[in-house]
Structure formats: structure tokens, C-alpha cells
Amino acid sequence: MSRFFSEKYSSLVPYTPGEQPQDKKYIKLNTNESPFPPSQAVSDAVGAEAGRLQLYSDPECVALRKKAAEVFGINTDEIIMTNGSDEVLNFAFMAFADEKNPLRFADITYGFYPVFAELNHIPYTEISLKEDFSLDPNDYTEVNETVVIANPNAPTGLALGLETIEEIVKSNPDNIVIIDEAYIDFGGRSAVPLTKKYDNLLVTGTFSKSRSMAGARLGFGIGNAKLIADLNTVKYSTNPYNVNRLTAVAGIAALEDNGYYMNNCKKIQENRAWTTAELEKLGFTVLPSMANFIFARSDKISGEELYLTLKEKGILIRHFTKERICDYNRITIGTSEQMKIFVDAVKEIVG
């Protein structure tokens, strides 16, 4: 670091995104992107809007919020649109957590949570998942802290039931509970309906996974209108034009074409079931995922060796070095063709 870097960030460990090597063409099963392209309507909308880039985007995202409200069954003042769900998570940490309201989240979960906490100087507690990597709801009830739960969780893919989520929200009436639903469209039950019942619930989501827009950076937060107003205060104090023109029209078109994307989610679930079964035939332990990825390990090969060997074969998966999960790899579910190539390669490696 330079000698000018502020001491307040000297110990900050930044988030490590999934690798994006450019040396050759890979089958990318490492960053949980959709293997399916955006719908034609999205491509057409972006092309038509490109000629207006000399104009600022709408900071209020009026048209986008209106369409999203229709799809999610909420009011327009109950949603905020952001530059990916990472931004709304950061806004929420800034708005609803501090020394009096510290954060609480799992030790094995989305890696940006501790980064945002450190960045904003918010104290936090990491709660160990159980031996089977499931989350114990009792660790999050009546805790008087700002609770953050990825549901389904990443990188495990395990999900809590909606009744369990409600119990956690209900037991913490004086603190915000943030439910990160980046992967909810692949088999989970959304907590969005609960936002009508509880004023302390914020549900975040993204267009990156189920709606094939990882490269467009579009996320959202849904909650009580007063919570959304709080988040807008932070937004307008940092980045008012956070959703660009192309992303906004792409988001509207994607929501109008929702059937196309939900059908793709069904294909992902089918490919996930097939891949899980094939790996289990090879002796792998595969956690029961409700996301667009699986978390798997083998007694025949270390997680790192499998990752490196597959990379040599032109297939990328995600390996984590954290001691408790270093034997596992997270494998994004792609098309049926991609998953067959992946399984065939694994068969060659493990025999």
C-alpha cells in the first residue's frame, strides 16, 4: 500500500471475487453466473437505449421499481434498486448496524459480509455453522443484534424454511434482520411476503443469478417503506445515479420476460439434480443445495487438487482455502452439456 493510505483501512482484507482467467476459453463453473443468455427482449431494450447515454439515468428508477413492484407483489415505495445486491447490502450495513447494533452472521457464508463490516467499522460476531453446515436458528433468535442470513446460504447451498425465517424476524423486533436471497429462485421460498407483516425485515436480491444479468449489476432491497427511505438516504448521500440507463431498461425487460427466466431456473434445478446424482455415484459427498451451485467433496482427492486438475482441463470451479471447507469445492450448475463435460472430466480424474 502507499504511504498515503488511511490507517483506518490498513487492516482491511478485501473481498476476493471468482477468478476470470483470459489465457484460454474455459467452461466457467466458478462464479455462479447463469449459463443462459438474457432474453432477446433484454438485448433489444439495451440496444434501443444505447443512443441516450448522454443523459443521466433516473435516480429514482421509477419505471423499473414499478415493474418490480408488480412482479414481487409490493408497493413502489417498498423497494430500492441498486448496483448489484452488494450495494444494497453495504447500504443496509451502514444504515442499520453500528456499535450499539452489531452484526451477526455465519462463519461460512457470503464473503462480503465481514468485508462490509470492517469497511464501515461495525463490530460483528461470526457464528459457527453446525457440523453438517446447517445454520442453527437458535443462534439468531432474541440476540438484539443486526442479523444477516444468506438464504440459501453460500457456498453451502443449504436453505432455511420460511417458518424458521419468520421466527428469527419475530424474535428480534428491535433489530433489523437482513435475508440475502441471491439464490432464492432455484428452489427456496422467498421471505418477501413477510415484509408486509414485519417492519424489521429487509430482503435483498439480485438479477445476476436467475435473470442472467451478472454483467449489468442490478440488485434490490424490499422492506417496509420506512426502511427503504432510510436506505435511500444512504444512497443519495453516496451514489444517486447508481443504476445506469442500460441496466435499468434491461431490468424492466427481464421482469416483463419473467417466464423465460423462471423456466431457465427449472432447467438449472434439473441439471443440479443430475450432477448431484452423478457425483454421488463417484463417492462424492454433496450437500443438498437449493441454489444454482453444489458444494461437494471426495475422499479420493483433495479439494485443491480437483480444482487445479479441472482447471488444466479447461473447467473452472471455486475452491476455498478456509480450513473447515478446504476439502470442498463449489460447482456452479451450467447447461446439461457443460455438466456432462464436467462429470466426464471428474470421472477421468478420480477413476
Domains of the chain, by residue range, sit at: 15-37+259-350, 40-256
pLDDT at 324 over 90: yes
pLDDT tens digits for 93-119?
Answer: 999 999 999 999 999 999 999 999 999
What fold characterizes domain 40-256?
Aspartate Aminotransferase; domain 2 (3.40.640)
Does the pLDDT value for residue 247 go beyond 90?
yes
Average pLDDT over residues 236-243: 97
pLDDT band at 19 (very low <50, low <70, confident <90, very high): confident
pLDDT at residue number 1? 85
In which band, very low, low, confident or very high, does the pLDDT at 18 lie, cut at 50, 70 and 90? Answer: confident
Residue 24 has pLDDT above 90, yes or no: no
What is the pLDDT, as a whole number, of residue 23? 86
pTM above 0.95, yes or no: yes
Say yes or no to pLDDT of 22 above 90: no
The 3-class secondary structure across the chain, one letter per residue, is: CCCCCCHHHCCCCCCCCCCCCCCCCCEEECCCCCCCCCCHHHHHHHHHHHHHCCCCCCCCCHHHHHHHHHHHCCCHHHEEEECHHHHHHHHHHHHHCCCCCCEEEECCCCCHHHHHHHHCCCCEEEECCCCCCCCCHHHHCCCCCEEEEECCCCCCCCCCCHHHHHHHHHCCCCCCEEEECCCHHHCCCCCHHHHHCCCCEEEEEECCCCCCCCCCCCEEEEECHHHHHHHHHHHCCCCCCCCCHHHHHHHHHHHHCHHHHHHHHHHHHHHHHHHHHHHHHCCCEECCCCCCEEEEECCCCCHHHHHHHHHHCCEEEEECCCHHHCCEEEEECCCHHHHHHHHHHHHHHHC
CATH class of 15-37+259-350: alpha beta
> What number is the average pLDDT over the span 18-45?
94
Q: Please state which of the ranges 20-29, 135-144, 243-252, 306-315 shows the lowest mean pLDDT.
A: 20-29
Average pLDDT, the chain: 97
- Give the pLDDT of residue 286: 98
- pLDDT of 203 > 90? The answer is yes
Q: Provide, rounded to the nearest whole percent, the portion of the chain with pLDDT above 70.
A: 100
Answer whether 15-37+259-350 and 40-256 agree in fold.
no
